Amino acid sequence: MTAPRDKFGRPVVVVTGMGIMTSLGAGKADNWAKLVAGESGIRTITRFPIDGLKTTMAGTVDFVSVDPFSSTALSERMAELVTQEALEQAGIGAKADFPGPLFLAVAPVEVEWPQRRELGRDVGQLDITYDDLLRISGGGKYSAYHHRFMFGSVAAHLAETFGTKGSPISLSTACASGATSIQLGVEAIRRGETDAALCVATDGTVNPEALVRFSLLSALSTQNNPPQAASRPFSKNRDGFVMAEGAGALVLESYEAATARGAKILGVIAGCGELTDSFHRTRSSPDGKPIIGCMNKTLADAGMTPDQIDHINAHGTSTPENDKMEFNTTSAVFGELAQKIPVTSNKSMVGHTISAAGAVEAIFSLLTLEHQRIPPTINYETPDPTILFNVVGNKARDARVTAVMSNSFGFGGQNASLILTREPA
Amino acid sequence: MTDTASKPGQTEVWITGIGLATSLGEGLDANWAALQEKRINVDEKGFAPYIVHPLMPVAFDSQIPKKGDQRQMEAWQRIGTYAAGLALDSAGIKGNKDILSKIDMVVAAGGGERDLNVDSGVLTAEAKGANAPGFLNERLMSDLRPTLFLAQLSNLLAGNIAIVHGLGGTSRTFMGEEVAGADAARIALARIASGESDIALVGGSHNGERKDLLVLYEFGDFNLKDKFAPVWARKDHAGFALGSAGAFLVLESKAHAEARGAKPYAKLSSVVADLARRKQPGDMAATLEKLWAKLPKREGKGAIITGATGAEPATSEERGFLKGHADFPVRSTGTVFGHAMETQFPLGIALAALSISRGALFPPNDSTGTEIEMQGAPTQIVVVGAGHWRGEGMALVEAV
C-alpha cells in the first residue's frame, strides 16, 4: 500500500472500523461465523400478533430491547451499538469526539401504532377522530413523542453521543440507503472536507404496518414454513423478499490520515456509483439501462474494468423481478464473466435489512475480502434456469477475492453500487 | 480537519432555475407580487384552533400531465413535483434530455402522509371493544390502499419527480426537518463546486394541511393556535403555523450555465450547517454566530432572510443573534408563508435569489420593528434556517 491518492488524484478512502448487527446476532465475529456456516436469522415473528397476515416471518432483532418500544427507538439503539463496535475497532478520536461528520441511513420516521393507540385510549370515548387526538396531544404529556418521531432524532442522538462534527445527515434512498451513506462519506473525504467520516445505516422497522405495506405491494415472500427457507435468491421458486432488521457502521478515513495514526486498514472503498431509474415507482426499466449505467459508473469511479472484479455481493432480494433483472444487467456489464464471477446474496440468511442493507452488505463484503471466503446463498436448491450466475450455493467457498462489487437497488428508482478492495488500486 | 462547511469552490455555482408553489401562488411573479402587497394567506378556520397557510390551488395538470401519476401521489408529492417542474421550466431545461439524463437531485423530504380515516377507524373500533390479536393486521390489510405506501415514502418525492419530468441522473433524499433543506443545498453545492457534478435540482415540498402532522407537533406544543401574528410577535403566543409549499432550485456550475446560455438569478456562494446541543440558553445563538463567521466576507449591501419558526425558545435565541447584526435588514419567511419544515430553507434561498435578481428586497411584514425597510438593491443575502427543535443552517446568496 503506497498510494495516498487514487489514479484520479483523489484521496484514497479506507475503512478502519466496522460494526454490524443483524438477525444473526451482534458484532462482526458472531455474524461472520453464522454467515459462513449458512445459518438463517429468519424466524416466525413474535413481537406482535401475526393473525391475519400473509407473511408471518422476518429477520427481527429481538435480542436488543428498547422501552418504550418503537421501530425508531430500535433503529436508534442498533445504530448506537454498531457505532460503538466500529469506533472501538478504529480507535479514532476520543470518547464522544469523532473527528468528522455523520451520514446516517435511516428508515422514514412516523408516529407508530403503539403510540397512536395510547392516544386513542387517552381520548376516552367511543368515536375517535383526529380532532380528538389533537385535543389531547398537547400540554407536555407527550412531548417525548415529538422528539422520538422527528426524522432527525436518530442522527441527533448519535451525533451527540459520539461527538460527530457538523450537521449530521439523515438520508433515505430506500433499499440503497446504506450504500448512499457510504457514498456521501467517500465524497466528503475525496473533496478534502474531512479526513474521517462515520457512515451508519440502521433499520428496525418490522412492525405490523410496515409489513402490511410491503405485503400489499406483493413484495414479500409468503413461504412462511419453515421461515428459514423463505429467502431464496436466484431460485426458481423465489416469491419475494423477507423483511429484516439490522445495522451497520463504517469508519471511513483518508488513507493518509489512517496510516499517519497507524490505524489498521480493513479495506478500501474504491468506487461508488448511483443512477436514477425514472421508469416506474417500484419496477426497474425493462431494458435495465439505469442499473447497467449504475454498475458502469461505479467501475469508472474506481478506475477498474469488469475483469478486475472477482466477486459480486448481489442485491439478490429473492423477488422474482429483482434477481432476474440483476442477472440480465450484470451480464450486460460483465459479459460472459457474469456467469463465472462467484455471486452471493447475504439476504438469503439475514433477510432484507432495507435501509441498512447497503452498509450491512458492504461490511460482509469487506469481511469476505479479509477472510478470503465467500458466504453462501442458502436455500439454493432449485436454481432458476434463466439466472446463470455462478451462485455460491448453500456452502461457503474459499476464493481469492481482491475486489467486490456490492449492489443495492430500491423503490423510487434508486440504484447504487460500491466497489470494495483489499488494498488501494 | 473536521469542518464540513462547503467551501466556496474553485467553481462558481449559479442559481439558474427557481420553482415556487406556495400559499401565495405559483411561480415567481405571483409570489413576488404578493410579497410586494404584503399579502398573507392563512386559514384560521379549517383546522381551528390551529392556523395553517394553505396552498393556493394550482392546475397540477400543467406540470403533472398524467392523471395516473397524480393519483399515485399524496399532496406533498404533488406540490413538490409541480414546483420541481416550474424550476426546470425556469432554468430552460424542461424536456432537455441531455441535461435531465445527468442532473443530480438532492431532495429534502418528510413523508408519511397518513390515511386519517383508516387510523381513526381502527382506534374507534378498538374503543368499541375490538380486541382480537389480529384486529389491527386485518384492518390494515383490508383498508390501506396498496399505493399509499409509495405516497408516504420520503424518497418517493424524488422518485415522482424523476418519473414525471424524466430525470435520469442521481437522486438523494435527506430527512431531518428544517436542516435537511440546508444540508441538501450544502451537499449539492459542494458537489458542483468540486466538479463532482455540473447541475443539480435541489429543494423540497411540504403539505401543511395535515392533521397527522398537527398531532406530531402538538406533542411538543409547537402549533400556533387561535390567532395569527407575525413570527416576531409570537413571543407570548409561541408556535408555528404549518405552511404548504414547494420550493426547488436549479444549481449549476457557471461554466455549464454559460455553455448553454443560461442566465443566473444569483450565485450560491456558501452553505453551512451545524447541530447545536441546545442544552443551555445561548447554545443555539452561539452556533448561529459560528455559522455566520464561516460564511465568506460580506462587504456588499446585505440582508437576511430567515426561516425562524415562531417556536420558542428557538425564535427568541435567533432574535438575539439577529440583534447583533442589526445592520442587515431581516425578512421572515415564516410570517408570510408559514412553516414548511424541510422546504423552508430552499424557499429562503429562492426568495434571496429572486430579490437579488429583481434588484430589491421584498418589504417588511412585521409589527414589532424587527423587520426594517431596505433601500436599494441587495447584493448579498444570508439565508438563515434554525430548526424548531434541532439543526441550524445558513447560506450566502450573492449577485453575480
Q: In the prediction, which pLDDT does B297 show?
A: 87
What's the Cα-to-Cα distance from A13 to each of A164, A252, A266, A421, B126, rounded to whole Å? 18, 6, 11, 11, 54
Give B10's pLDDT tier (boundaries 50, 70, 90). Answer: low
Tell me how crowded residue A74 is: count the other CB atoms within 10 A of its CB.
25
pLDDT in tens, B260-291: 999 999 999 999 999 999 999 999 999 999 99
C-beta atoms of A208 and B218 within 8 A: no
Over residues B204-213, the mean pLDDT reads 98
C-beta atoms of A147 and B220 within 8 A: yes
Q: Which is the catalytic residue, given A175, A199, A272, A294?
A: A175
Give A1's pLDDT tier (boundaries 50, 70, 90). Answer: very low
Q: Which residues of B touch A56 (CB under 8 A)?
A: none
The pLDDT of residue A389 is above 70: yes
Q: Which residues of B touch A131 (CB under 8 A)?
A: 211
**Closest among A36, A75, A122 to A397, alpha carbons compared:** A36
pLDDT in tens, A290-316: 999 999 999 999 999 999 999 999 999
Q: In the prediction, which pLDDT does A3 show?
A: 65
Give B2's pLDDT tier (boundaries 50, 70, 90). Answer: very low
Strand ranges inside A287-422, DSSP E: 311-313, 342-344, 373-374, 390-391, 397-398, 403-410, 414-421
Cis peptide before A227 (omega within 30 of 0): no
Residue A383, min C-alpha distance to chain B (Å): 31
Q: In the prediction, which pLDDT does B184 show?
A: 98
Q: Closest to B221 (Cβ–Cβ): which among A138, A187, A280?
A: A138
Least CA distance to A142: which residue of chain B?
Answer: B219
Q: Is A175 a catalytic residue?
A: yes
Q: In the prediction, which pLDDT does A2 show?
A: 52
Residue B173, min C-alpha distance to chain A (Å): 5
Over residues A156-178, the mean pLDDT reads 98
CA distance A169 to B106: 12
pLDDT in tens, A172-190: 999 999 999 999 999 999 9
How does the average pLDDT of chain B come out, rounded?
A: 96
Tell me how crowded residue A178 is: count the other CB atoms within 10 A of its CB.
35
The pLDDT of residue B8 is above 50: no
Joined together, the cell numbers standing for residue B178 give 428544517
Amino acid identity for residue A423 in this structure: E
C-beta atoms of B171 and A129 within 8 A: no
The pLDDT of residue A424 is above 90: no
Q: In the prediction, which pLDDT does B1 show?
A: 34
Q: Which residues of B touch A280 (CB under 8 A)?
A: 163
Over residues B371-389, the mean pLDDT reads 97
Percent of chain A residues topping a pLDDT of 70: 99
Look at phi and psi of residue A412 and say left if phi exceeds 0, alpha if psi is from -120 to 50, else beta.
Answer: left
pLDDT in tens, B254-266: 999 999 999 999 9
Tell me how crowded residue B246 is: count the other CB atoms within 10 A of its CB.
33
Residue A266, min C-alpha distance to chain B (Å): 22
pLDDT in tens, A406-417: 999 999 999 999
Q: In the prediction, which pLDDT does B300 show?
A: 82
Mutate to test the interface with B, among A71, A102, A171 (most CBs of B within 10 A): A171
The pLDDT of residue B108 is above 60: yes
Q: Which residues of A touch B126 (CB under 8 A)?
A: 117, 120
Specify the pairing of strand A397-398 against strand A102-106.
Answer: unpaired
Residue A141, min C-alpha distance to chain B (Å): 7
Longest dimension (CA), chain B: 69
Mutate to test the interface with B, among A10, A13, A145, A150 (most CBs of B within 10 A): A150
Specify the pairing of strand A267-274 against strand A414-421.
Answer: antiparallel
Joined together, the cell numbers standing for residue A92 give 479514532
The CA-based angle A74-A77-A80, given to 5 degrees, is 150
Over residues B104-123, the mean pLDDT reads 95
Q: In the prediction, which pLDDT does A68 show?
A: 92
**Closest among A54, A72, A74 to A62, alpha carbons compared:** A74
ipTM over 0.95: yes
CA distance B50 to A421: 55
CA distance A250 to A85: 10
C-beta atoms of A166 and B154 within 8 A: no
Q: Is A352 a catalytic residue?
A: yes
C-beta atoms of B275 and A187 within 8 A: no
pLDDT in tens, B230-243: 999 998 999 999 99
Paired strand residues for B106: B172, B202
Q: Is A146 a catalytic residue?
A: no
The pLDDT of residue A229 is above 80: yes
Four-CA torsion B336, B338, B339, B344, nearest 10 degrees: -40
C-beta atoms of B183 and A169 within 8 A: yes
C-beta atoms of A167 and B393 within 8 A: yes
Q: In the prediction, which pLDDT does B327 show?
A: 93
What's the Cα-to-Cα distance from A90 to each of A79, A196, A253, A258, A262, rounded to whole Å? 16, 11, 10, 9, 10
Joined together, the cell numbers standing for residue A14 give 479506507
Give A399's pLDDT tier (boundaries 50, 70, 90). Answer: very high
Least CA distance to B148: which residue of chain A?
Answer: A213
Q: Which residues of A touch B4 (CB under 8 A)?
A: 100-101, 165-167, 188, 193-194
Q: Which residues of A touch B109 (CB under 8 A)?
A: 172
DSSP reduced 3-state for A249: strand
The pLDDT of residue B4 is above 60: no
Tell me how crowded residue B367 is: count the other CB atoms within 10 A of its CB.
12
DSSP category for residue A412:
T
Over residues B307-333, the mean pLDDT reads 97
